[in-house]
Amino acid sequence: MRPTGPLHLGHLVGALHNWAALQDTHDCFFAIVDWHALTTDYADPSAIRGYVREVALDWLAAGIDPDRAVLFVQSEVKAHAELHLLLSMIVPVPWLERVPTYKEQQEQLRDRDLNTYGFLGYPLLQAADILAYRAQAVPVGDDQVPHLELCREIARRFNHLFGEVFPEPQALLTAAPRLPGTDGRKMSKSYGNAIFLGDDAAAIRSKIDAMLTDPQRTHRHIPGNPEICPVFATHKVFSDSETIAWADDGCRTAGIGCRDCKARLRDRLGAVLAPIAERRRAFAADPVRLEMILDRGAERAREAAEGTMRLVRAGMGLGR
Ligand code: SF4
């Protein structure tokens, strides 16, 4: 995960819940990829270090357990850079140019100069992040599948040229529920529509109060359409079936008002986020413990990645 800001409910349901469950079934490596943050934000890296800490706290608060998974910062494991360099020798440039997000992001982020090698090469760095651990599987969303396909192609090419070193990592696709932001668009820090894991009760309240509803429902007595309402979409992700049915029916029949609907959501999100906020506060209050967790994670990651690098160097005829 790139450290580009505090994490929000979209990260919780889209990734962190799934990651926490994977700790029971897999040997997991979770990396805060700070070098990747530089691919788009190299001109002003001043916030990256702070975000690394925030992301680590959010992960721990959401249930990533340093005793059951390896949690580390990418730039503390130099093998990622070495593997990126070595793989760059065998990857044709058109493979990188045809990754769909390459052109898309250049279009979208017009305010930044993305004509750098770092930006073109970020799917290759991603491949190095994965292959450094000879990973069997990677939890990804639909949008990341082309990147993982590239990673598999690179693994095949390396194995063909230098002998079997890398397994081809499989996509662990999980159907993440659709969670819009408070304005109905995709939840994102840059849209200003996110509810963050670190938000306190007052912040949650004001964000839910300001949440968009069915725009046709301008009065309490006018029935609404919950299917186009972000409040209802959020109920569908977090509330129990009884509450969802209550909101669905009450909205369509004007049996409830938007205020009632939002009050229930506020209570529910309060209950979901309170234990997360509590754990976050406890970890934040003990910076020495956080340092130790990240140090130990980096050590374990270095050890695993170094094992891979020995095979890679030998295969490529490097070293004495
Ligand atoms: S009653 Fe609930 S679902 Fe219906 S428009 Fe209002 S907030 Fe949205």
Q: What is the pLDDT of residues 204-261, one digit of tens each?
A: 999 999 999 999 999 999 999 999 999 999 999 999 999 999 999 999 999 999 999 9
- Rounded to whole angstroms, the Cα distance separating 127 from 9 reads 27
**Probe ligand 1: pick from 221, 251, 260, max atoms within 8 Å of CB?**
251
Is 182's pLDDT higher than 90? yes
Q: How many helices (H) and strands (E) does the chain have?
A: 15, 4
196 DSSP 8-state letter: B
Q: With contact defined as beta carbons under 8 Å apart, do 56 and 97 qualify?
A: no
Q: What is the pLDDT of residue 190?
A: 80
User: b/e map of 162-180 (b: 16 or more CB within 10 Å)?
Assistant: beebbebbebeeeeeeebb
Q: Measuring from atom 7 of ligand 1, which residue has the nearest CA? A: 258
- Rounded to whole angstroms, the Cα distance separating 232 from 236 reads 6
Q: What is the pLDDT of residue 189?
A: 85
Q: How many angstroms from the chain centroid is the CA of residue 213?
A: 27
Instruction: Count the Cβ atoms, other than its own, within 10 Å of residue 29.
Output: 21
Q: What is the pLDDT of residues 166-176, one digit of tens each?
A: 999 999 987 77
**Which atom, in ligand 1's list, is nearest to the CA of 235?**
3
Q: With contact defined as beta carbons under 8 Å apart, do 168 and 131 qualify?
A: no
* Token couple for 248: 């669905």
Q: What is the pLDDT of residue 161?
A: 97
- Rounded to whole angstroms, the Cα distance separating 260 from 283 reads 35
Q: What is the pLDDT of residue 114?
A: 74
Q: Could you tell me if the CB of 151 is within 6 A of ligand 1? A: no
Instruction: Count the Cβ atoms, other than its own, within 10 Å of residue 278.
Output: 10
CA separation, residue 98 to residues 6, 78, 299 (Å): 31, 27, 35
Q: Could you tell me if the CB of 256 is within 6 A of ligand 1? A: yes
Minimal CA–CA distance to 109: which of 39, 50, 45, 49?
39
Q: With contact defined as beta carbons under 8 Å apart, do 276 and 196 qualify?
A: no
Q: What is the average pLDDT across 280-301? A: 97
pLDDT band at residue 111 using 50, 70 and 90 as cut-offs: confident
Ordered DSSP codes for 296-316: HHHHHHHHHHHHHHHHHHHHT
300: exposed, middle or buried (C-beta count within 10 Å: 0-12, 13-18, 19+)?
Answer: middle
Q: Could you tell me if the CB of 229 is within 6 A of ligand 1? A: yes
186 forms bridges with which residues in the sheet? 180
Q: What percent of the chain has pLDDT over 90?
A: 81
Mean pLDDT of the chain: 93
70 DSSP 8-state letter: E
Q: Could you tell me if the CB of 51 is within 6 A of ligand 1? A: no
The gap between the terminal CA atoms of the chain, to the nearest Å, is 36
Q: Which of the residue ranges 62-66, 83-87, 97-101, 264-268 would you say has the lowest mean pLDDT?
A: 97-101
Helix (H, G, I), strand (E, B) or coil at 57: helix
* Token couple for 252: 């369509």
Ordered DSSP codes for 138-190: EEE-GGGHHHHHHHHHHHHHHHHHH-S----PEEEE--PPP-B-TTSSB--GG
31 forms bridges with which residues in the sheet? 72
Is 150's pLDDT higher than 90? yes
CA of residue 307 to ligand 1 center, whole Å: 55
